[in-house]
Amino acid sequence: MPIELGPFPAKPGYDTARALDRADPLRSHRDSFIFEDPEIIYLDGNSLGRLPSAAPEALNTAVRDHWGRGLISSWNERWWDLQLELGDALAPIIGAGPGEVIISDSTSVNLHKLASAALTRQGKAKIVTDDLNFPSDLYVLDSVARASGGSLHIVESDGTHGPTSGLADALDGDTALLSLSHTTFNSGFTYDMDGITSMAHEAGALVLWDCSHSVGVVPMQMDDWEVDLAVGCTYKYLNGGPGSPAFLFVRERLQSELTNPIHGWWAHEDPFALHPTFQPTDGMRRFHVGTMPILSLVTVEAGLAPVLEAGVEAIREKSVALTEYFIELTDSTLADVGFSLAGPRDADTRGSHVSLTHVDAWPLTRALIEVGKVVPDFRAPDSMRFGLAPLYTSFTEIHTAVHRLRQIIERQIHEEFRGIVSKVT
Ligand SMILES: *Cc1c(COP(=O)(O)O)cnc(C)c1O
């Protein structure tokens, strides 16, 4: 017999949640997404955004018409520059100009390309980061620093907040590059991108931001804040689909000073002349390597549209309201059953996800998904992460999710899920 929560009586405060939804200026944007199972409360949009309503049709056209009928001619007609066009479409979301952004490869690969290019340009090889950065970023930065004969300096934090003063101390004359996650993947701490960028510049370092957890939900001004380099995912809050290629930003005046360490034909000044030697082209195309995954670019296009339509400022406003509401409910409903907030209380330093710790985080996550029909994600060893995607997450969903979680604990339902093993958490 599957365990069921049974009828779910409206809990105190439900009317408040409904009123917040009615007053939400972004509520109609939920229609830009597909809800295959309307019962599921999806709070994992910071790992894999929901399916945009326009994506299946766009993919179908790309497969049947452009691939099926157009065959190779579709490269000329529409595919060759698609990643540049989408880069320009994404640019306003991050406060960048045309010709400063491309879509290409994965975030990890783009980070490698840009960090390596930065070290070569700087003629030094020390990289500074913090221990809140995503592990893949730490691996990439470490390997890039070592390959240039330098090292990665990882500044320690308190586990939640970015160690700003520790970073200031670590930036010295040998430092080529400061690279950080804008919003950190676990606690959701969000750096003052403008201030930290200036701090790096004063120390003579370039700065490379990973915006995977902030792009599309936290406004940023790459040009005004004189950011040098940035990368980030398109499959999280930008809803580009599983494994969709990442973005890569290079400030215009640096483009000609940087060289892509991976010499591929897509970055050649004349790719179809098929020269035996590499000659990089100008502009952002020089940061490409090889052939683009066109079908994934098509879904990136479908994912960007609702974000551009709503506007990042409005999205941020709702994001702050959602995280504040979630934290308020955590304090009132979950604190006395063992949950603690593992992220910042100050909205100015928070992204759009909230992390809670609990000793039983893993069985609770499984029970919440299987029995509660609420999807968060789990981050070892003891945190549950709730990604609140403003385009499709409602206040009533948050209210229901929190109360279902409490009900699971009260009835000890998670005890049944202790031994479960899962490949992806
Ligand atoms: C999600 C995420 C990545 C993922 O990188 P991939 O190369 O796409 O697997 C990298 N960095 C950060 C900070 C992330 O949040």
Mean pLDDT of 320-347: 97
Cβ(74) to ligand 1 under 6 A? Answer: no
Question: Ligand 1, from 212, 214, 218, 239: best to mutate by most atoms within 8 Å of Cβ?
Answer: 212
Nearest CA, atom 15, ligand 1: 212
pLDDT at position 7: 58
DSSP code of residue 387: E
Q: Could you tell me the two tokens for 333?
A: 């409903």
pLDDT at position 52: 98
Q: How many helices (H) and strands (E) does the chain have?
A: 12, 13
Residue-wise pLDDT tens digits, 346-405:
999 999 999 999 999 999 999 999 999 999 999 999 999 999 999 999 999 999 999 999
Residue 31 designated active-site: no
Distance 233 CA to ligand 1 centre (A): 6
Burial class (CB in 10 A: 0-12, 13-18, 19+), 210: buried
Residue 236 designated active-site: yes
How far apart CA 237 and CA 305 sit, in angstroms, is 12
pLDDT band at 4 (very low <50, low <70, confident <90, very high): confident
Question: Ligand 1, from 107, 110, 209: best to mutate by most atoms within 8 Å of Cβ?
Answer: 107
Q: Which residues is 153 bridged to in the sheet?
A: 128
Q: Is there a contact between 295 and 59 (Cβ–Cβ < 8 Å)?
A: yes
How far apart CA 326 and CA 32 sit, in angstroms, is 24
Place of tokens 């201030």: 195
Distance 424 CA to ligand 1 centre (A): 14
Distance 108 CA to ligand 1 centre (A): 6
Q: Is there a contact between 192 and 166 (Cβ–Cβ < 8 Å)?
A: no
Distance 134 CA to ligand 1 centre (A): 7
How far apart CA 166 and CA 168 sit, in angstroms, is 5
Residue 50 designated active-site: no
Residue 210 designated active-site: yes
Q: Could you tell me the two tokens for 245?
A: 């290629």
Helix (H, G, I), strand (E, B) or coil at 229: strand
Q: Which atom of ligand 1 is nearest to the CA of 213?
A: 15
pLDDT at position 11: 79
- The reply to whether the predicted model has a pTM over 0.95 is yes
Cβ(105) to ligand 1 under 6 A? Answer: no
Mean pLDDT of 166-190: 98
Long-range contacts of 325-334 (CB under 8 A, 24+ apart): 325/17, 325/20, 325/395, 325/398, 326/354, 326/386, 326/388, 326/398, 326/402, 327/354, 329/13, 329/398, 329/399, 329/402, 330/354, 330/356, 330/402, 333/402, 333/403, 333/406, 334/402, 334/405, 334/406
Cβ(107) to ligand 1 under 6 A? Answer: yes
Cβ(138) to ligand 1 under 6 A? Answer: no
pLDDT at position 311: 98
Strand segments (E) across 124-212: 126-130, 151-155, 175-181, 206-210
Residue-wise pLDDT tens digits, 275-290:
999 999 999 999 999 9
Residue-wise pLDDT tens digits, 315-325:
999 999 999 99
Q: Which residues is 354 bridged to in the sheet?
A: 386
How far apart CA 407 and CA 14 sit, in angstroms, is 15
- Catalytic site residue from 124, 126, 385, 404: 385
Distance 107 CA to ligand 1 centre (A): 5
Residue-wise pLDDT tens digits, 13-41:
999 999 999 999 999 999 999 999 999 99
Nearest CA, atom 2, ligand 1: 212
**First CA to last CA distance, the chain:** 25
Question: Ligand 1, from 134, 140, 238: best to mutate by most atoms within 8 Å of Cβ?
Answer: 134
Could you tell me the maximum CA-CA distance found in the chain, to the nearest angstrom?
A: 71
Mean pLDDT of 59-69: 98
- Catalytic site residue from 189, 235, 247, 326: 235
Distance 47 CA to ligand 1 centre (A): 9
pLDDT band at 12 (very low <50, low <70, confident <90, very high): confident
Residue 278 designated active-site: no
Cβ(377) to ligand 1 under 6 A? Answer: no
Distance 53 CA to ligand 1 centre (A): 25
For 17-51, b/e burial (b = at least 16 CB within 10 A) is beebbeebebbebbebbeeeeeeebbbbbbbbbbb
